[in-house]
Amino acid sequence: MRRRLWSVPLVILLTLAGAPAVAVAEDRTTTTDEEPLPLERLFDNRAVSDDARPGEADFDGAGNSLSAQDLKAAGWEPGRLLGLDSAALRWPHTQPGRPDNVRADGQQVRVSGSGNAVSLLVAGTSRSGGPGAGVTGTGTIRYWDGSSSTYTLNAPDWRGGPLATKAVALPHINTRSGTPLTEKAKLYAVTVPVREGRSVRSVTLPRDAGPESDLHVFAASVRRQEPAWTGSWTTSTAGYTTVGPWTDQTLRLVVHTSAGGSRTRIRLANTFASAPVEIGRASVVVQSEGATGRGRPVKLQFGGRDGVVMPAGAHAVSDPVGFQVPADSNLLVSIHLPGPVAAAPVHSATSQRSYVSASGSGDRTGDQEGAAFTGSLEVWPFLTGVDVRGGPGSVVAFGDSITDGVRSTTDTNRRWPDVLARRLRAQQEVPKYGVLNQGISANRVVSDRYPGDGVSDDTGGVSALHRLERDVLAHTNAHTVVVFEGINDVRWGASAEEVIAGLKEVARRAHERGLRVVGATLTPCEGYKDCFPEVEAKRSAVNAFVRDNKGTFDAVLDFDAVVRDPARPQRMLPAYDSGDHLHPGDAGYKAMGESVELKKLVP
């Protein structure tokens, strides 16, 4: 057994202001006299080695380690601040071969701030050197009022864990012998829920996982809660595809707002990437027509600078800027890419035409006119969100192609979440929430379409379970999530029981973070090429569960009842059918959006 440097738990210090309610295992009064220390003072393990001196680190007890050169190539340099799932985590400011992480054994770590969760950069290792399922342990959150609550944390294995949820994947593993292993090393960002309205004194990491496994922590920080902001538009990264290549060009992306406000900021992400990407400049303007703006674009900055470099897997948020964002309107968000970009994280089923300038045309983010944008795009690369200042927060629509608006009329914003957003703006009965569309065409609840790593032409995304943290839980001031997904699972081999278990897990995790969870029934698909009788049987079983739900959901939307043909319930009403018998057309999406009882969205 290794020597324990500390016999007391890991602490993360934070103050909560209006954090959402979370489910915790217990609530008791405790006292502790131990003072937390900065995480770096507790480092007791060397995870990173120089490729020329691999023997100077031993991450897993078997002489294996992460490559400093691979980390640098990914943009994960010593001391680099990384945006991961809306939290800021700093990669250790240490050189290769020096202590850079702590093996969890009840240490206490000082971390300041207030927010709605604590984020930790972790990985599990096995001393036997073989990949495993990960390391799970229970820790304690202690609050300044003397109470405490417990949590369970899982650190996926750095070799055997899933690519779909990793923060970064590195192409090889250094070994003590000097012969590298050509398998991917992975690190993970995980979050720990906190109790609403209480000031956190500390978070205690789990005790020693045992003689053969370790749970390693590289960084910890508070994920800030931002009640002053409302998400107005979002999209989910659905894959990492070949593009262009783009060289010294400007993307002008068209997005449609739900909520409006007098200040704004944008979110960019380098999800699924293996290398950093440079954003030279960015701007925003209300669309006039095509790629032409209604006035001169407003420049955006990042930390006071015109551009930003996003490491592999990380995101960036622009500084707030005074700019009046109208509700229910189109914006042009322009992004200059000064260097060559051959692949990018994208959302593919946009139902929206965007624009790109010619190769070598340079920075056109300041152009009001659209003449320089000679090419068109059918994807949204890099851009994942637009926030506005003020407002009551947002509702997240979490689903597949039917939420994505596939087969709705291009450039008209007739997806059912668009219809819902307009209804919310036009009423006084409930808060005028923003509506965030997190639908991905071809997405599933329990299995990945896109594997979560590498360049691929599959843009069906990782599973709902694997993207829940990034696409729902990490979103700005979200209060409610509508879960409308599962038809692709039952069409492509999953059992009804597997889908139901996945929906229960989505709801459990969302409830743990204080979100209201609204379930939606699956719409009919008879007549579609693979919607066989056995698929209908599974769809009906899932819908029976959603309607009954037994406490899984706080409310239910019966989209099946809205669009089905009363004379033949296993198929869509012809007036609502886009023609492929799976996706509604504009009329069907309108009926769905108008059917939502708005009070069901209110926590």
Q: Where are the beta strands (DSSP E) in 290-433?
A: 292-293, 298-300, 308-310, 315-317, 321-325, 330-337, 341-347, 354-356, 375-377, 380-381, 383-389, 394-399
Query: In 3-state terms, what secondary structure has residue 68?
Result: helix
Residues with pLDDT less than 70, the chain: 1-33, 128-131
By DSSP bridging, strand 48-49 and strand 66-67 are parallel
Q: What is the pLDDT of residue 20?
A: 31
Predicted pLDDT of residue 369:
98
What's the pLDDT at 129? Answer: 58
Which long-range contacts (C-beta less than 8 Å, at least 24 apart) are formed by 462-466?
A: 462/164, 462/165, 463/164, 463/502, 464/398, 464/502, 464/506, 465/502, 465/505, 465/506, 466/162, 466/164, 466/165
Quote the pLDDT of residue 130. 61
**Residue 420: phi, psi to the nearest 5?**
-60, -45
Q: Token digits for 239?
A: 């894959």
Burial 116-155, CB ≥16 within 10 A → b, else e: bbbbbbbbbbbeeeebbebbebebbbbbeeebbbebebeb
pLDDT at 14: 30
Dmax over CA atoms of the chain, in Å, equals 73
418, burial (CB in 10 Å: exposed 0-12, middle 13-18, buried 19+):
buried
Amino acid identity, position 40? E
Distance in angstroms (rounded) separating the CA atoms of residues 156 and 228: 34
Q: Domain 392-603 classified CATH 3.40.47.10?
A: no
CA distance 339 to 345: 16
Please tell me the predicted confidence (pLDDT) of residue 131: 66
Euclidean distance between the first and the last CA atom of the chain, given in angstroms as a whole number: 49
∠ at Cα 332 (374, 457), nearest 5°?
Answer: 65
Look at residue 33 in the predicted model and tell me its pLDDT.
53
**Residue 312 DSSP SS3:** coil
| pLDDT for residue 3 | 36
